[in-house]
Chain A
Amino acid sequence: MDVLGTSEASAESVTMHGVTVTPQSRALILRLPKGGLVWNRPTAVLVEQEGRVRRIPIVDITRILQVGLLGLAVLTTSASVRRCRRRTGGAA
């Protein structure tokens, strides 16, 4: 059994208005001898209509905004550190 692994799974399909919806999820599993961690998140929805299958991704807007803000903070901070070093001639 792997210590760290991922698994993709599909939930039970729901059929309504002639559309079959199958939600899909992906889990990151960390197995330790005396414990473990599971991070499971929804990834997409498979929509089957009139014989055609369409995949609609589930986008985690909150996570994107959080990572974006963190990236912005890191970029702004590194830019101001570089500017400060240039002003002080690399002493800071």
Chain B
Amino acid sequence: MFDKVLIANRGEIALRVLRACKEIGIATVAVHSTADADAMHVRLADESVCIGPPPAAESYLNIPRLLAACEITGADAIHPGYGFLSENARFAEILEEHGITFIGPTSEHIRIMGDKIEAKATAKRLGIPVVPGSDGAITDAAQAIRIAKQMGFPVLVKAAAGGGGRGMKVARTAEDLDMALKTARAESKAAFGDDSVYLEKYLEKPRHIEVQVFGDGKGDAIHLGERDCSLQRRHQKVMEEAPSPALNAEARRKIGSIVAKAMQKINYRGAGTVEFLYEDGEFFFIEMNTRLQVEHPVTEMITGLDLVIEQIRVASGAPLTLSQNDVVFSGHAIECRINAENPRTFRPSPGTITYWHPPGGLGVRVDSGAYQGYRIPPYYDSLIGKLIVHGKNRNECLMRLRRCLSEFVVEGVETTIPLFTDLVQQADIANGLYDIHWLEKYLQKP
């Protein structure tokens, strides 16, 4: 087991990782930019190292500085959290070369799943159902039109180097397709430095259902059930729940088993999430995230497994804590991502939190590094915390969530709490009847 872990991240996930390390007796090093000197996890860590000014490129994304911080503190492992360098194969490789453990999968698996075209080909080879598409990068517009006519419009142009909902353009007709290709390529080049695109069938009303997997790196892998993350705005998840209201136990067992077997075949190590679009009872692979996800707590609440502790254990060479038969799903969990943004315009609202009262009670969990007096820096994303509630069933969970939202007080900055208060009143949400377009349609209503 590691003696000291360096937490290469910030905000709520850094605090999450710190908590896991403390619970299993591992010393913690918090690295931070000058803007995060007063972050809660920095205050609680055993050691802290300021690694640069606010811009991520000079701090949280700066590999030499992270390595130097490891060197001066003697950390023997790094937990990358999510975002930043968590899916950077080069970073994982560099750490491998320096004898520092990267708490996550191998650089090879990160690389395979990082390229969305290769990931899809790999998934197909492993028996995971995929969205019909171009089977590779688009070479020219004529080929694109041919493939699109074959699959049937509408189609989606996607960036190979994209992911996380970015770099996608819909085309409903052959005329649209040419423009969609050009725009997608230009945007992709600007955002990811790579203009490769591929084509997929565009599903009209799918749900986003993802499966949590865990591998020990030696051929053993299990699934921990699914999460329904259909409520999205601009392809960013807003609210998630486990289990999905759309699946029954048999469907869950079936897709979970397909995914777990695939991970066993490739000797996957650590936490991973296989994301699908689900429509008319069918699953379509879209991508795999080779890291911990923001919404991991809902899986923790229904399985009772601490996923971060499990990541650390597996990275240190230990076997998985649970076998597939040990995994039991209990109750229902919902997570609301609380952002420091206006709840209607979503304009970011950085500033000082003058009053902070999070809800509490049975089945209530708030993952947040915020505190009264905390100054939210304007340099990073606006997520200030996650409210996660658990109940014996979905109804109890919703009632608990309603109660929690009415109790959650944040003053000094605007937050999206009022948005959630509205959402839990909606009949479609209460009945679990929503797809990935639902939230945007709701937000467009006056």
A in complex with B: no
Hey, which bits of chain B sit against chain A, CB under 8 A? none
Hey, which bits of chain A sit against chain B, CB under 8 A? none
